[in-house]
Structures are given as C-alpha cells and as structure tokens.
Structure 1
Amino acid sequence: MTTFALSRGRATTVTPRKPRRTRRALTGWAFVGPAAIPILGLSIFPAVWAFLISRTKWNGIAPAKPVGWGNYQTMVQDPQAAAAVGHTLWLTALFVPSSILLGMLIAIALNQKIRFVAFYRTCIFIPYVASAAATGILASFVFNPQFGAANDVLRRLHLPAQQFLESPSQALVVICVIALWGEIGFTAVIYLAALQDVPVALMEAATVDGAGRWRVFWHVVLPQLRPVTVFVAVWQTITAVQLFDLVYTTTRGGPLQSTETVVYYIYKLAFQTQRFGYGSAIAYGLFAVTILLTLGIFWYSRRSRMEAF
C-alpha cells in the first residue's frame, strides 16, 4: 500500500519497506538455496538416521532391534570406551597447548622483515593442505624403529634408538608430533594475520613510554591476540577430539590399544564388528561433548568480552 506525505507543499509518495525487504530476502535465498539444500540434506538426514540407529541393535544386515537407551547405558559402563576417552583427552592436552604456543612463535618469526619471508610462509603452510592420510603413511616410515630416519638421526648423535609407534608409552606422543607437523601451519597463519592487524600506534606509544620489546609484546600484543587464541583453542580441540586419519594410517589403535581414540573406537565398532547401533550411540555422545565444549568456550568468550566468534 502506497502512502502520501507533504513536503514543502507538495505531495510525495512513500513506498513501504517491507515488500523491498521481502524481495531482497527471496533474492538471497534464490542464490543460497540450490547450494544449501544439498548440504542440509547430506548433514541433517544422516544425523537423524544415526540417532535412530543409536537406539537399536543392528549389524547392517538383519532387521534392527529396538533397545531404547540401552546403547547409551552400555556406553557409560564400557571400559574400552573409557580407555578411548582417556587417550583422546591425553592427546588433546598435548596437542592444543603445543599448537597454540608453536603457532604463535612461528607467526612472530614470520612477521619479521627477513629475506624470502613469503617462501617461508608458504613452506610452513604446505603440510596443512597436504593429505592427512599421506602424512600418516610418510610418518610411519620416518618413525620406523628398524630403518626410519628418526632413529638414524639418533644413532648419528650417539643416542639410543627408540620404538616410537611400536611402543605403548611413546606411540600417542609421536602421533601428537605428527599432528602438530600437519596442523601448525594453520595456527601460524591465523596468528600471523592477527599480528598484522595489531595497531602500530599502540606499540609505538608503549615504546615511547619506555617499554621494552618483551613488555610491549606481553602488555600490548598478547591482549590483542586473545580472541584469536580462543578461536584457535576451540578449533584445535575439535581437531584433536576427532582425530582419526593419522591413527588409522599409522598404528590402527595399537600397540596394545594405546592409541585407540574415541573416533577410531567408533570406526572399529561400526565397520569391524558391525555394531552400528552402539557405534552410533558413542558418536552421538562425542557430538554432545563437542557441542557442550564449544558452547562453554563461546559463553566464556562472550562473558569476558573477547570477540572470538
């Protein structure tokens, strides 16, 4: 409906804004819809189906038998699931702080005015875009106890050879090192972008006031990196919790199930023992923990006024 208004003795028309907003919304959905519908179908439908499977006992062949919440009750009492959770937590505790610290240090180094800095930045990012499966296969040769390059270096340094991926006490740490090699480029690039966004005026003002380089970094630069640190912590935590490909290509959960993470345990249940219902229940438990962890960090960042998201 068109209305009229008086302006300096003349009548002018005022077009309602609601139809215009509706047209803009429809135009936007017309562009987004063709891509959004397949994505939603490929994510929501499998998620709903997996939840329905998690309430059944099904081997993929015989008809599914409803068990209600029995799979979830079994999950709480399963010692293998508890061990997989412990391995995942230990891997996360090793991986996340190391990736944050190393990524920040590498970003600081690459933020300096040095020769061939663009080449160095490219080299540090290449492992991240490489296939994780290929990284795991390559690392299994590097850390091979008999003919691996890692033990060859130790022998040249007159140090005792190690078992690495064949040792129950070392395998998970080695997998963490391999994961760091593949993921550190992402963290470094994120911190590098954040460092270049720090206001130069703040650092110059601190320098004029007599602050040294360390104090400028600690009191000026580091507070500016807090939102990025929260984001990186969330991202790398999810990466560690969902780690599968490196475990699959290096140890297959061994030796003695010392590297069996939650995701690999889900894979073993579903595709090796055909316990699809129980595997889906553990997958949903992992999903719930990941969501709660993300929401908790999101709430903390909002509460502390860190615009990380």
Structure 2
Amino acid sequence: MALTFAATPRAHRPDVTPRPAGRRGRALRRNLTGWGFAGPATLIVVGLSLFPAVWAFFISRTKWNGIAPATDVGWRNYERIAQDPDAAAAAQHTLVLTVLFVPASILLGILIAVALNQRIRLIGFYRTCIFVPYVASAAATGILAGFVFNPQFGAANETLRRLGLPAQQFLESPSQALLVVCLIALWGEVGFCAVVYLAALQDIPKELVEAAVVDGASRWRVFLHITLPELRPVTVFTAIWQTITAMQLFDLIYTTTRGGPMNSTQTVVYYIYELAFETQRLGYGAAVAYLLFAVTMLLTLAVVGYSRRSGSEAF
C-alpha cells in the first residue's frame, strides 16, 4: 500500500540574523566611546601644533617685532633669505653637521647593537648604560660637555697631556667647535639608534642565520648577506629620524657655544632663535622656519620614496 505524505507548511521561525541597522548602531557607539576618551587629548595636540603653525605662516608674511602692529610685506621675507649671508652660513653649518652626524650615528648604532645582542654576563647593565645618555637632559649633557672640553681645566685636554699630545681649544676654536658639537650629539643620540637596531636584530628569524651557518657561511658573510638586508627598513627610519634631529639641533648649541665662536656653530634653528627672540624680527624668523620645514619635509619624502622603490619600506 502506497503511503502518501501531505505537505505541511513549515512553522514560521523568527529571523535571528542581526539587522544591519543594529550593527551600525553598536559600531557608532563604540566609535563615540573611543572618541570620548581620545577626543580631548586630540584637540589639545591639534591646538598646540596646527594652530601655531598656521599662525606662524601668517607672521612670516609680515614685518613684526612682537609689540608694534604688524606690517604686511607679502613674500618679501622669503625673497630676502636667498640674499642673506648669515642664513647661507647657518645652512652650511647645518648641512655639515647632518652629513657628519647621521652616518656616524647609524654606523655606531649598528655596531653597538650587534655587541649588545650577544649572550654575555651583565648584558642588561650594558644596555642600560648605552641608553642612559639618550634619556638624560640634552641641556645637562651640553653643560657637562662644556666642562669636559674646557681648554684650561677640562678632562679632554688633561687626557691629551697625559698622552703627550698638544692641548686643543675644542669649543673655543672656530675649526673644531662644530666637530665637538657633533661628537657631543653622538654621545646623546647613539643610544636611540642602538636600541632600535637591537630590537630589529632580535626580530630576525633565527632559521635564516642557522641555515647560513650550516651552509658554511662565516659570521661576516651572515652579517653582510642576512643581517644588513633585514635591517634596511630600520635604517630608513633611523636615517630620517636622525636627519630631523640634526637639522633641528638647538639645545646642545645653546648650552655649549651659543652659535660661536665667530658663528662657526650657528645652525639654522639657532639662527631662527636669534632672529625671533634676540633681534625681535619675528616675521623674518618665521619665514626661515618655514623654509627649514619645507626642506625637512622634502628630504623625508625623498628618502621614503626611494626606500619604497628599493623595497625597503619602513612606513
């Protein structure tokens, strides 16, 4: 006997899929909660950075001493920069400092990081000692360096005398002062590069190094063909960071030489300080500051673009 089953309608089941509107509402509440915490701090940061930058641009188009009413001069301040010998000298000093400081800090950072990446006793103590000068006050470092490199009673000349070498003028010599400032800057900043490279070294896959060693590669070949290529993105980052540091160096120069002797250590940032706060030429000082910002931005974009084309992206 054939059995037939009558089709019975399916019971209606409620739709349990969340509605898109509900998901959007929850996402909106999460975003509002996040901005509720981050919003006030963001407004403070924007207010203390963007507003002064925009205001400084308007000041750069005026002749103003900070007291009398400002006089609009258009782009005349920017045109004067090309004919200012003091600005050209300050740019030259900044360029020399940057060329000396950036490669030296990167090279020393790599070497120190490789040394600190070894398994030796008291390695934590050594790493702390390397990083302490970076976290110390730059003003305090400059004041201390002024005593160390004092031509009369400084520790540097005392060491030279004990070695039978002639005493030097250091910060009081126009030909030596900029080199000494670069040396002091390296003392304070190389710890940053060392820590960054140390973190990058510990991030290199150990399998690559072990495979190269098994294939018979020496330590030098491992360093050249594995370690250095893996450190390229970090090198791009440190090169940009140290370039900005060198071009904006002010505190060390202020506490050691004040731009002297004979303006031999007057960098662009210190020249801006003299224009704005010593001679009260706020408009012209703001124009030089904006030109420095433009040069720094172009250099940064050039390095980032080159790194991306070469496959060493760091940003």
TM normalised by structure 1 equals 0.95
Give the Cα separation in 2 of the matches to 1:181 and 1:100: 13
Aligned to 2:32: 26
Shift of 1:277: 0.3
Aligned to 2:194: 188
Aligned to 1:286: 292
Matches within 5 A, 1:46-57: 46-57=52-63
Letter aligned with residue 135 of structure 2: V
Letter aligned with residue 154 of structure 2: G
User: Which one of 163, 170, 177 corresponds to residue 157 of structure 1?
Assistant: 163
May I ask how many residue pairs the two structures share in their alignment?
303
User: Which one of 6, 12, 18 corresponds to residue 16 of structure 2?
Assistant: 12
Shift of 1:169: 0.6
Shift of 1:282: 0.3
1:273 aligns to 2:260 (yes or no):
no
Give the Cα separation in 2 of the matches to 1:28 and 1:226: 35
Query: For the aligned residues, what is the CA RMSD?
Result: 1.4
Shift of 1:9: 7.0
Kept in 1, the 8 Å contact 2:138–2:252? The answer is yes
Shift of 1:200: 0.3
Matches within 5 A, 1:45-124: 45-124=51-130
Aligned to 2:178: 172
Give the Cα separation in 1 of the matches to 2:285 and 2:190: 31
Matches within 5 A, 1:245-264: 245-264=251-270
Structure 1 stretch 296-305 or stretch 227-236: which is displaced more? 296-305
For residues 199-230 of structure 1, give each alpha carbon's deviation from its aligned partner in whole angstroms, at most 9, with x where no partner exists.
00000001111111100111011110000000
Aligned to 2:305: 299
DSSP 3-state at the match of 2:87 = helix
Letter aligned with residue 157 of structure 2: N
For residues 241-268 of structure 1, give each alpha carbon's deviation from its aligned partner in whole angstroms, at most 9, with x where no partner exists.
0000011111111111000000000000
Letter aligned with residue 293 of structure 1: L
Aligned to 1:3: none
DSSP 3-state at the match of 2:15 = strand
For residues 112-166 of structure 1, give each alpha carbon's deviation from its aligned partner in whole angstroms, at most 9, with x where no partner exists.
1111110000011000010000100110110011111000000000001111001
Kept in 1, the 8 Å contact 2:304–2:313? The answer is no
Give the Cα separation in 2 of the matches to 1:15 and 1:289: 52
The verdict on how the C-alpha distance between 1:103 and 1:160 changes in structure 2, with shifts beyond 3 A counting, is same
Shift of 1:76: 1.5
Letter aligned with residue 34 of structure 1: P
Letter aligned with residue 120 of structure 1: Y
Letter aligned with residue 187 of structure 2: W
Q: Please tell me whether Structure 1 or Structure 2 has the larger radius of gyration of its CA atoms.
A: 2
Structure 2 residues not aligned, in runs of 5+: 1-9
Structure 1 stretch 293-302 or stretch 280-289: which is displaced more? 293-302
Shift of 1:10: 6.2
Letter aligned with residue 244 of structure 2: I
Structure 1 residues not aligned, in runs of 5+: 1-5
Shift of 1:305: 2.3
Shift of 1:84: 0.3
Give the Cα separation in 1 of the matches to 2:150 and 2:17: 80
Shift of 1:290: 1.0
1:224 aligns to 2:230 (yes or no):
yes
User: Which one of 131, 143, 146 corresponds to residue 149 of structure 2?
Assistant: 143
TM normalised by structure 2 equals 0.94
Give the Cα separation in 2 of the matches to 1:29 and 1:56: 38
Aligned to 2:7: none
Letter aligned with residue 185 of structure 1: G
Kept in 1, the 8 Å contact 2:147–2:154? The answer is yes
